Structure 1
Amino acid sequence: MSCYENLIMKTQMNYSRHYSTYASGGTAVVLSKQKPLSYEEQIQEFVRRVQEAECIVVGGASGLSAAGGGDFYYSDTPSFREHFGKFADKYGFKGAFSGMMHRFSTRNEHWGYVATFLNTTQNAPIREPYLDLDRILQGKDFHILTTNQDTQFVKIYPEEKVSEIQGDHRFFQCSQCCQDETWDAVQPVADMIAAMGEGTMVPDELIPRCPHCGAEMFPWVRGYGNFLQGKKYEEEYEKISKYIQKNKDRKILLIELGVGRMTPMFIQEPFWELTNSLKDAYYISVNSEYQFLPEFIEDKGIAILGDIGTVLKDLRKAKEESAFV
């Protein structure tokens, strides 16, 4: 098991012990009582830390994509209606995830919805917060860790710079995990979308099946079923673990973007542990809802409460302006 997996195992146990606290939007960790810097001071400190860092790890979660318009997962937003309107009208769904959990009367319609879901993220343009982040990271040694499955980061960076520890919408797996393999999902999804047209069902012959056992395939993602934690999964963890091990003695900046209360154990709390244990680590979080800075790292981090898109845009502008000072 990789070092980052070990961190997650530890924080998952903490999450399980204090589930009710997390479910209500809190944290079991004692938070700092220090008064935060003003927003302007936080941005300047953020710029300084980026400039001084010898390496950076970015932890990108759902709030990052939501800030750029990928906000169709949990509620009946305009973007949800744009991409899933025909299913919303027919079934009354109030968010993309509710459709993924729905028991359709036929597998043809189930796959019509799954194909629509995957097509939406596979073909989404790179969202503005990601482009701003890319400009902020220019010239730096960095690695990306993400729980997002929407392929935004791998549209910008080579695979070796991104650890997708919760899966990726570009791949299928066997729903029964009969083999430790993943397959391309992009072309099958395109074929299903073309065949479905304005309807909501795909033909029998396009329902993707495992070439080994004949069972239906399934998106290679955690959250909906039997997530395959095999070779590819371990490779994703190995990338982030090797990066941290290689750079543990350098001045490392840990940037957390958009972690919610459902999955603090994958990015947020491991970042807190790393900040505490690594001598020259510093932690910065940006979140539109929560301003959590643990007491035990209050002198090694800041937590910025604000819209992630706005913060990254302000940070990018401040960083570019500072280059000319």
Structure 2
Amino acid sequence: MEIINMFNRGNRKIENDVKVNSTTSGGDNYERIKELIKDADAVIIGAGAGLSTSAGLQYGGERFESNFKEHINKYGLTDMYSSAFYPFKTQEEKWSYWSKHISINRYEFKENGVYRNLKEIVKDKEYFVLTTNGDHLFYRSGFDSNRIFATQGDYGLLQCAKACHYKLYDNEDIVYEMIEKQKDFKIPSELIPKCPVCGGDMEVNLRKDNYFIQDENWNVAFENYENFVSKHKKDKVVFIELGVGMNTPSIIKYPFWQMTNSWPNATYVTINKGQAYAPNEIKDKSICVDDDIKLAINKIL
């Protein structure tokens, strides 16, 4: 398996096609995972959108429809994921939607216990979290902030849309002011976030274009992750991948496969309903659990 890890500040590369071998879960897998974690020197968690979905953070269905009924009627929006890319005609309209999107997904959402139970599983272990989720749930659930690397940004932060400088700004106060004062699907023009340096528009700090800002905190988190990985590469390590699909596999999935293959004492565990698989090259070092993440974590706990 020739997978080359090209992390380089969030950019990775896969050289050759990976032959995938699908496996199924069984009752014994949970006992095996428990024993692996118990005996591990370190646990590295890789978390994608599927983990937050299992925690109740649904971007579609009733949760979307109940919170955005009026926006749906006006713009024909179908879910919160695609709505994030909707071409609103004005900044006033855009932030009318985005203020609500941020408030319910970053500040108000109460997870159903999945994150807290996951923390309970690893609380006495050397652990690190690598996540593509921007919902801040690992931080809010009590995981050590020095052991989290959120690679794709945070709903709670604003940046210059053109990245004219590398500073991020908390947005909670302005978000709730936008919600309070908006009318007819528009916020007051004076509330449009403007860059304090260049005067241009601001954006939510999410990796969606070449202007994504990686500030000092991002770089510290990256270095913490690199140091953790370097420290434990010869130890008994369990990679636990939760809800990671093929949207951005080069950030978590491919590197986990590569490290499992090259590290002598590593094991790869993936829990993902309908998407639990591993390459043939690491078949004997993998446990693939095709199950609901919330139920699986409860069983492991």
Q: Does the alignment reach a TM-score above 0.5?
A: yes
Equivalent runs, 1:281-300 vs 2, <5 Å: 281-300=266-285
> 2:86 aligned with 1:97, yes or no?
no
Asked if 1 retains the 8 angstrom alpha-carbon contact of 2:147 and 2:221, the reply is: no
Partner of 1:82: 66
* Deviates further, 238-247 or 266-275: 238-247
Superposed displacement of residue 47, structure 1: 0.8
Partner of 2:262: 277
Asked if 2 retains the 8 angstrom alpha-carbon contact of 1:59 and 1:256, the reply is: yes
Equivalent runs, 1:199-278 vs 2, <5 Å: 199-223=184-208, 226-278=211-263
Equivalent runs, 1:117-128 vs 2, <5 Å: 117-123=101-107, 124-128=109-113
- What secondary structure is seen at the aligned counterpart in 1 of 2:246? coil
- Let me know the Cα RMSD of the aligned residues: 2.1
> 2:120 aligned with 1:135, yes or no?
yes
Report which of the two has the higher share of helix: 1
- Percent identity over the alignment is 28
Equivalent runs, 1:304-319 vs 2, <5 Å: 304-316=289-301
Deviant stretches of 4+, over 3 Å: 6-10, 229-233
Partner of 1:190: 176
Gap regions ≥5 residues in structure 1:
18-27, 317-325
> 2:157 aligned with 1:144, yes or no?
no
Number of aligned positions between the proteins: 295
Amino acid at match of 2:41: E
Superposed displacement of residue 91, structure 1: 1.3
Q: Partners of 1:268 and 1:104 in 2: how far apart? A: 34
Residue-by-residue CA offset, 1:69-105 (whole Å, 9 max, x unaligned):
1121xxx411111332221122111111222211112
Normalising by structure 1, we get a TM-score of 0.85
Superposed displacement of residue 155, structure 1: 0.6
Asked if 2 retains the 8 angstrom alpha-carbon contact of 1:65 and 1:127, the reply is: no
Q: Partners of 2:10 and 2:103 in 1: how far apart? A: 30
- What secondary structure is seen at the aligned counterpart in 1 of 2:284? coil
* Deviates further, 141-150 or 115-124: 115-124
Amino acid at match of 2:7: E
- What secondary structure is seen at the aligned counterpart in 1 of 2:68? helix
Gap regions ≥5 residues in structure 2:
none
Superposed displacement of residue 4, structure 1: 7.1
- What secondary structure is seen at the aligned counterpart in 2 of 1:298? helix
Superposed displacement of residue 9, structure 1: 4.5
Indicate how the Cα distance of structure 1 residues 183 and 9 shifts in structure 2: closer, same or farther if over 3 A, else same: closer
Q: Partners of 1:224 and 1:169 in 2: how far apart? A: 15
Asked if 2 retains the 8 angstrom alpha-carbon contact of 1:7 and 1:270, the reply is: no
Partner of 1:22: none
> 2:153 aligned with 1:167, yes or no?
yes
Q: Partners of 1:224 and 1:97 in 2: how far apart? A: 16
